[in-house]
Chains A and B, each alone.
Chain A
Amino acid sequence: MSEPIIVAEQLTKAYGNNIAVDHLDLAIPRGEVFGLLGPNGAGKTTTILMLLGLTEPTSGRAKVAGFDPLRQPLEVKRRVGYMPDQVGFYDNLSGVVNLRYTARLAGIAGREIDSRIDAALKRVGLTDAGRKAVKTYSRGMRQRLAIAEILMKQAEVAILDEPTGGLDPQATREFLDLIRSLKADGMTILLSSHLLDLVQSVCDRVALFNAGKLGLIGRVNDLLRQVLGGSHVIRVEATGPNLEGAIAAVPGVKRVTRDSGVLRVEAIDDLRPQIARAVVGAGGDLTTIAAGYASLDEVYTQYFEGVRNAA
């Protein structure tokens, strides 16, 4: 395997006594889509800023595309495209003019700028909107303009911070398709998110982040097995007195939790018939019973609950 394109070794950032990122080790090979997952304030953005050389690490080292972001930030930034959380543009200027400005800052040769911008806008579906002022753009169009900027730069690495934040489901789907097409081009993508389900569908590997520490790292399916131990999750929608108790009494049920009217049952096997009988037996009205697929969300909740309990 070739050398990883993003490497972090013992990367640490402290703001006074508050440690935002705590001895982070990371290696991302070229061409991978890697997800940094964690709640707000977990240190995802700080990590990204350190990788870009926009924040100095307190200790530790990083290497991006073969350069040290601390000493050679210009080389790193020439090769990395960055889409910040809630990306902003100059509202009174058009999309094209905004891109032209960053193209000049990026040092792209003058005669290439317009053709690259056209190609990038076409790719993200903003050819028509390109000449309009950015203030007329929707949130999704702004995000796509940010992707166009990364395409125009012909970046080797794209770092996307909360790329789907604030998008409606349709725009999110389109955006994820765009990320997949970038991956198909061979671009390495590092994205951060707190929306786990979305990330699950595009990421090769993910890292779970909490309070500055890297919890788990690996392929999504491996994590599912590792944390949930291959347990089955069953969703039950039913009304009736003390259903939790009745279901918990079924042999093989490990845990019952209530989440806004839906009961979530973890069991060692697919115990749907037994659970259905228990609900009916307890005098409850069963409306839905379904085998829920285990998602990253659950890995996440379970994992960090474990961390908290252990502490």
Chain B
Amino acid sequence: MRREGSAFSGVGTVTMKELADNLTSTRMRLLELLIFVTGAGAAYSTIGVVKDQLSEYPFVFLLVFTYGHDPLPSFVAFLGFLIPIVAIALGFDAVNSEFNRRTMSRILAQPIYRDALLIGKFFAGLITLAVVLSALWLLVVGLGILLLGLPPNTDEVLRGFAFLLASIAYGGVWLALALLFSVIFRSAATAALASLAVWLLFAFFWQMLVPLVTVAIAPPDPYDPYSALHTINIGMDIARISPNTLFSEATLAFLSPTTRALGPVLSTQMAGAIRGTPLPLADSIAIVWPQLTALLASVIVLFVIAYVLFQRQEVRA
């Protein structure tokens, strides 16, 4: 059956309202503070070490992002950890709070479709995330220039930018997940806990589970060396179900230009290659293209599930 009128009328209004809410909420202030202090702190402490060891490495600037200096993890590792939390905080009460405040039926009685509400809330979350991450990115790059006394070259800027886009996509996955749970659970606390449970699973337990599951599915045959390769590949496929794995592989390829492959490489495949030479950016992108596609696909799939469930929900509380 056809309905008349655009599903997008009102998207802009909802986006602006939610954006204003996001940017002024106390919750967001706290998270921004957390992410800025930890992120900038990690970068700052790294820069000190990198500066002392200014090697012949052609991509010194990228070390600011990737170098982990004990006891602090690298800036990238911090982000892999913090982005999901910020994204979940932005999304876990998006839909259910409208029901709990009893504003849902009043808003939906305005001449808009439900689509506009959900899309607007998602856009607002994504824009907020992009603003926070871009600001942080600029802060770290700025600190790097100031403290290293060395500007990044074009390739480093492009790689850093690609990394920024990947981190926004990674945040999008968690935002869509939180939005989905905010549609499913009427209680905001339940939605937040469910989102955090998924985050815990992928951030901490997945890497422990992967070897167990892999050996069960594809036990390596000690007399067949290729079966060991098969086992490793299966293990990597399972690990890549986790958005955290996808994100860390993407950042590895972007920020460590010498990365030639993300899986096992046979010595025959390395014949003729010069070890330690960096790849051009286009080749690095080609290596992680599947990872980037998978991140975007997860965002879309999660959003579509949330969308379908939301369309079927009864308006009355």
Identify which of B13, B14, B109 contacts A82 (C-beta below 8 A).
B109
Instruction: Tell me if B4 is interfacial: C-beta within 8 Å of chain A.
Output: yes
Query: A48-60 CB contact bits vs B (8 Å, 1 = yes)?
Result: 0100101100000
Q: Tell me the complex Cα distance, A80–B110, Å.
A: 9
> From residue 7 to 34 of chain B, which have CB atoms closer than 8 A to chain A?
9-10, 13-14, 17
Residue pair A105, B102 in contact (C-beta under 8 Å): no
Residues of B within 8 A of A90 (CB): 101, 103
| Stretch from A67-75, A117-125, A227-235 that touches the partner | A67-75
CB-CB under 8 A for A72 and B3, given A86-B102, A87-B102? yes
With a 10 A CB-CB cut-off, give which of A54, A71, A73, A105 has the most chain B CB atoms: A105
Residues of B within 8 Å of A77, CB to CB, are: 109-112
Asked if A88 and B103 make an inter-chain contact with CB atoms under 8 angstroms apart, the answer reads: yes
Interface string of A67-111 (1 = CB under 8 A from B): 000111111011011111011111100000000011011110000
Contact between A88 and B315 (Cβ–Cβ < 8 Å)?
no
Say which size band chain B's interface belongs to: 20 to 34
Q: Which residue of chain B has the shortest Cβ distance to A159 in the bound complex? A: B109
- Chain B residues with Cβ below 8 Å from A55 are 314-315
Residue of B nearest to A78 (CB): B111
Chain B 14-57 per-residue mask, 1 if CB under 8 angstroms from chain A, else 0:
10010000000000000000000000000000000000000000
Measured CB to CB, the closest approach of chain A to B153, in angstroms, equals: 46
B305 at the interface (CB under 8 A from A): no
B213 to chain A, nearest CB (A): 40
- Given A74-B5, A104-B13, A105-B13, the answer on whether A88 and B106 have CB atoms closer than 8 Å is yes
Q: Is A279 an interface residue (CB 8 A)?
A: no
Interface of chain B, main secondary structure: loop
- Do B111 and A146 touch (CB < 8 A)? no
Q: Pick the residue among A72, A102, A146 that contacts B110 (CB under 8 A).
A: A102
In this complex, the member of A49, A75, A84, A86 whose beta carbon has the largest number of chain B beta carbons within 10 angstroms is A84
Complex Cα distance A91/B4, Å? 33
B residues 128-187 with Cβ under 8 Å of A? Answer: none
B105 within 8 A of A: yes
> Distance in Å from the Cβ of B101 to the closest Cβ of chain A?
5
Residue of A nearest to B117 (CB): A105
Cβ of A45 < 8 Å from any Cβ of B?
Answer: yes
Query: Which of A75, A102, A105, A106 contacts B4, CB < 8 Å?
Result: A75
- Give the residues in chain B near A87, CB-CB below 8 Å: 102, 106
A105 touches B315 (CB 8 A): no
Known: A84-B102, A102-B106, A105-B112. A49 touches B315 (CB 8 A): yes
In the bound complex, how far is the Cα of B112 from the Cα of A74, in angstroms? 6
CA distance A107 to B107 in the complex (A): 13
**B-contacting residues, A232-250, CB 8 Å:** none
Bound state CA distance, A75 and B102, in angstroms?
23
Which residues of chain A are near B105, meaning CB under 8 Å? 49, 54, 82, 84
**Binary interface profile of A, 197-222, with partner B (CB < 8 Å = 1, else 0)?**
00000000000000000000000000
| B189 in contact (CB, < 8 A) | no
**B interface list, Cβ under 8 A from A:** 1-5, 9-10, 13-14, 17, 101-103, 105-113, 314-316
Which 8 pairs, one residue from A and one from B, show the smallest C-beta to C-beta distance?
A: A88-B102, A74-B5, A82-B109, A105-B110, A84-B105, A104-B13, A77-B111, A74-B111
Can you list 6 A-B contacts with CB-CB less than 8 angstroms, sorted by A residue number? A73-B5, A74-B112, A74-B113, A89-B101, A101-B13, A107-B9
Using A91-B101, A105-B13, A146-B106 as known contacts, list a sample of 15 further A-B pairs with CB atoms less than 8 Å apart, ordered by residue number in A: A46-B316, A49-B316, A54-B315, A71-B4, A72-B4, A73-B5, A74-B113, A77-B109, A77-B112, A83-B106, A88-B103, A89-B106, A105-B14, A106-B111, A107-B111
